[in-house]
Amino acid sequence: MATERTLAILKPDCVRKELVGEVLRRIQDAGFQVRAMKMLTMSKTEAEGFYAVHEDKPFFDDLTDFMSSGPCVPVVLEKENAIDDFRSLIGATDPDEAADGTIRSDFADSIEQNIVHGSDSPENGRQEASYFFPEHEIVANT
């Protein structure tokens, strides 16, 4: 299986609930390597840019308000089969539908405030990583 990159974002609800350490522990225990990480607060415009694919959705304004409401922690992760494995680890978008033991099932309050983002394809993983990190801020194998 190929080594892939995914961009995770520990969302503002994750930071507010002081779950950053716990969620990162689960991610590392599942075998993901952290290649880059920072904490920042997105502007509304930055959140709109990141979620541009959803701009026609009815929840776009709420989602981008939420994502710009406080600090978040983007993290570049690497692992074989990272895209699918990360989405299995976090569970379905709606925490009510997420499998037991997944991060969203255990910690998320709603379909919008669902603790963590994960890329949905290897191409988007690379493109989303570059939204937050220039290539020189992404470390090689440690």
- Rounded CA-CA distance 142/131 in Å is 23
Nearer to ligand GDP, 123 or 137 (CB): 123
Query: Is the dihedral angle over the CA atoms 97, 63, 51, 117 positive or is it negative?
Result: negative
Nearer to ligand GDP, 34 or 111 (CB): 111
Residues near 8 by beta carbon (within 8 Å), at least 6 away in sequence: 27, 74, 75, 76, 77, 86, 116, 117, 118
CB of residue 117 vs ligand GDP: minimum separation in angstroms?
5
CB of residue 30 vs ligand GDP: minimum separation in angstroms?
17
Catalytic one of 86, 117, 118, 132: 117
Which phi-psi region, left, alpha or beta, contains residue 115 (left: φ > 0; alpha: ψ -120 to 50)?
left
Q: Which residues bind ligand GDP (CB under 6 A)?
A: 54, 59, 62-63, 93, 111-112, 114, 117, 120
Nearer to ligand GDP, 80 or 96 (CB): 96
Q: Tokens representing 81?
A: 């089969």
CB of residue 118 vs ligand GDP: minimum separation in angstroms?
7
Q: Is 54 a catalytic residue?
A: no
CB of residue 107 vs ligand GDP: minimum separation in angstroms?
13
- Rounded CA-CA distance 7/42 in Å is 15
Nearer to ligand GDP, 26 or 139 (CB): 26
Phi, psi of 89 (to 5 degrees): -65, -40
Give the residue numbers marked as catalytic.
117
